[in-house]
A and B are shown apart, each in its own frame.
Chain A
Amino acid sequence: GAVVSQHPSWVICKSGTSVKIECRSLDFQATTMFWYRQFPKQSLMLMATSNEGSKATYEQGVEKDKFLINHASLTLSTLTVTSAHPEDSSFYICSAGLDRLTPYEQYFGPGTRLTVT
């Protein structure tokens, strides 16, 4: 159980275009989902916390107008990178969790590798 999927697994896009990444919890309902980015050989950096039915909470330094997050249902959150630039190339990972669990445990998706040319 507790499987999280991401789609696509990798994407290449041209500079200036927008890319949407989906994160789905396959066998459970996730009130909260998190979006991370990871540069090569670095750790995960939390970008935003996404709660179903409400606006996402962005971490300091993350542009909310550039990284649009929508959490329309308990099993789906999307991250849209708008007007992508080469510096946005990264590994984007989502996680989902059941906030009724104590301690809270999150389950990670397999990640999406974005390359902007």
Chain B
Amino acid sequence: TQLLEQSPQFLSIQEGENLTVYCNSSSVFSSLQWYRQEPGEGPVLLVTVVTGGEVKKLKRLTFQFGDARKDSSLHITAAQPGDTGLYLCAGAGRGTYKYIFGTGTRLKVLA
């Protein structure tokens, strides 16, 4: 069974601070996605990474896929209250499009 552990589980920071969320597994993934979910809503896709070592940027968010495709990180620069939410990574193994979700990181950015 593929397991995706995210750290930290909870994070409360002040507006303007930087933060990094990690997503780790012992399994190799063919692709990995990051989502953000607001309370009472479905997750919204932020990015998909597929190549080991790949780095993608989305405004203040930087996503990296580990060289071995077993881990990933999400870095947020100058966090804003609008970044508050549950961040989820999800990985799919080779030959499958079934994504397994990570344990989640709940972020709260205080104004």
Chain A interface residues toward B at CB < 8 A: 4, 6, 32, 34, 36, 41-46, 49, 60, 91, 93, 95, 97, 99, 103-111, 113
A45 and B101 CA atoms in complex are apart in Å by: 7
Contacts A109-B42, A111-B40, A111-B42; is A104 near B97 (CB within 8 Å)? yes
Residues of A contacting B: mostly? strand
1/0 contact string of B73-95 vs chain A (CB within 8 Å): 00000000000000010101000
A60 and B103 CA atoms in complex are apart in Å by: 18
User: In which size bucket is the chain B interface?
Assistant: 20 to 34
- Considering only residues 13-48 of chain B, those with a C-beta below 8 Å from chain A are 30-31, 33, 35, 40-45, 48
Chain B interface residues toward A at CB < 8 A: 1, 30-31, 33, 35, 40-45, 48, 50, 88, 90, 92, 97-104, 106
Contacts A44-B88, A113-B40; is A103 near B99 (CB within 8 Å)? no
Contacts A43-B102, A49-B98; is A108 near B43 (CB within 8 Å)? yes
19 cross-chain CB contacts under 8 A: A34-B99, A36-B101, A43-B102, A44-B90, A45-B101, A60-B1, A93-B42, A95-B42, A99-B97, A103-B30, A104-B92, A104-B97, A105-B33, A106-B45, A107-B45, A110-B41, A110-B42, A111-B40, A111-B41
Residues in B neighbouring A113, C-beta threshold 8 A: 40
- Nearest-Cβ distance from residue A114 to partner chain B, whole angstroms: 13
Of the candidates A41, A44, A103, which one forms a contact with B48 in the assembled complex, judged by CB atoms under 8 Å apart?
A: A103
- Nearest-Cβ distance from residue A21 to partner chain B, whole angstroms: 13
Residues in A neighbouring B1, C-beta threshold 8 A: 60
A36 and B90 CA atoms in complex are apart in Å by: 13
A97 and B45 CA atoms in complex are apart in Å by: 12
Tell which of A6, A42, A44, A110 has the most Cβ of chain B within 10 Å.
A44
Pair B45/A46 contact, Cβ less than 8 Å: no
- Nearest-Cβ distance from residue B94 to partner chain A, whole angstroms: 11
